[in-house]
Structure 1
């Protein structure tokens, strides 16, 4: 038995840190699951339980994708402001979007697409409602209500667990940041409202709006931003290595797109426009990153990546990671 001295304590301390460094995605996933265990066994709605379960499951899939060539301190210094930005957007984004809607409602309509889109055969996406059931409707409401933010946020959180700042930024820019600038001109120029409102039918999301509330909230249909966000995330998901994450979360993103038509929210052309917008946004992100990379690469190599062969060969050692 080793004598309990300073060297022995340092040995076990480094071993413990090495274990945490190797298996922290599992540890975080288990902690999140245990922290929310009362939700899974409590009197909460099935939808809330399902959404809560997504986080630990997704983090458990991140184990093999963790970057071993990234300095911990450099990563932490970069990820903190990114998460502060994400938190700010989550907190104030809807209020900002509400003010944009109010501003648009006061403007003179440039092009009213309601009668035009309503007159195009199959443009109301009735083909998406050939089969309907209570369970399918419940699921479609669940994915639509959570899809606007969750499609991207799960990908961002998982990228953070994997210590991949570049991937985090690509998800943020492709699915939200660049899309806001690309889509705003369409929302200002075109007046188009949701299918159920134009047809004078009940809101399948059961939002219980008054006419005035419904009129304002159903603006900005073309193109569908639910579709563009979900499809941009899906296109980037195709680049992921983990098949479980790619399949599971890709299905969720595609379900969000389908839900916009099933719930009588977006027109077929809205969805097609959203798909095109997402493709353009992803390609724009790739272009910007390709242009910036040669200029930033020397700094990245020097301060972000561990670049010595000794460090790489000892990638599992925390003493080398935090150098």
Structure 2
């Protein structure tokens, strides 16, 4: 009798544990979203915390609460977490050493003679200075566009990667990363090493739209490498990939952020119109190239993925036909 009672208690505990795990596995994004919401609301009263930080904390809340429709149910959790661990170690390494590599490239470029100087050419093309983007200017708009531009080189990619991790989609994590800095840095470097083009305000002798208070020597170096606009290429690539997401709210808000970064390059007199157009073309090419790489990789890795990463399918028989469904 005692063994029967112990068995029933054990089965009950096991059943409750399984149900709680299933509930957590289904609604974990809500708990994460509530955590970020609590942090965001906690920051609101503090005047010492910048408005930018508060806005981006609420962006994390949005990412969590718009994840449900895109969550993958066909992958195994442990292999996914292992892949994520390796992936984020790689991201941290790039974040730590990427700017050092970029700095070496810039120093090498400055030490060499300019092959093609585009400054006089671009400055003479009608409407190429993007003056139409500055027909209406205000302090609020200037603050907003400075904020999105200053955070538009890395943050859109990180937001996309974090959301992809939240929905347990490792392929999207790779695609956002490949379509951003990983592939673009190799595609864009030949242009930067070949063409000499500086920011609009510097070439036209206007005040710096970002109000960086640069000295003459610093301004000459920092304003290099405009063609193509990498702010544009990064954000437009993220925009193109975000259009593939299911959740409309995320697509609208994230898409608005990405397009705002692109527009800010014209409003702040950073990039020329042709820089932006070239950046958009580069983004499209990079997204298609990442599609090609991932499609070919999937073919090569199909067997190990099916064995270790994806959940096994089970057939459901309906009369003389059968369908495969995932074991969720």
Number of residue pairs matched by the alignment:
314
RMSD: 1.8
Which residue is equivalent to 1:250? Answer: 255
Gaps of 5+ in 1: 316-323
Shift of 1:92: 2.6
Shift of 1:40: 2.1
Which residue of 2, 7, 10 corresponds with 1:6?
10
Residue-by-residue CA offset, 1:236-270 (whole Å, 9 max, x unaligned)? 11111111111110111111100000000000110
Residue-by-residue CA offset, 1:30-69 (whole Å, 9 max, x unaligned)? 1122234432221122222112211121111112211111
Residue-by-residue CA offset, 1:279-300 (whole Å, 9 max, x unaligned)? 1101111112222222111211
2:8 is equivalent to residue 17 of structure 1 = no
Shift of 1:9: 1.9
**How far apart, CA to CA, are the structure 1 residues paired with 2:45 and 2:67?**
26
Shift of 1:314: 5.0
**How far apart, CA to CA, are the structure 2 residues paired with 1:192 and 1:102?**
16
SS in 1 for 2:202: helix
Task: Write the mapping of 1:51-130 to structure 2, written as runs, cut at 5 A.
Answer: 51-130=56-135
Task: Write the mapping of 1:215-234 to structure 2, written as runs, cut at 5 A.
Answer: 215-234=220-239
**How far apart, CA to CA, are the structure 2 residues paired with 1:300 and 1:143?**
38
> TM-score scaled to structure 2, two decimals?
0.91
SS in 2 for 1:309: strand
Structure 1 segments of 4 or more deviating over 6 A?
A: none
- Max radius of gyration: which structure? 2
Which residue is equivalent to 1:168? Answer: 173
2:296 is equivalent to residue 285 of structure 1 = no
Contact 2:312-2:327 at 8 Å conserved across structures: no
Structure possessing the higher relative contact order (Cα contacts under 8 Å, 6 or more residues apart)? 1
Gaps of 5+ in 2: 316-323
2:142 is equivalent to residue 137 of structure 1 = yes
SS in 2 for 1:5: helix
> TM-score scaled to structure 1, two decimals?
0.93
2:46 is equivalent to residue 31 of structure 1 = no
Which residue is equivalent to 1:321? Answer: none
2:219 is equivalent to residue 214 of structure 1 = yes
Which residue is equivalent to 1:320? Answer: none
SS in 1 for 2:239: helix
Shift of 1:313: 5.7
Contact 1:25-1:60 at 8 Å conserved across structures: yes
Shift of 1:107: 1.2
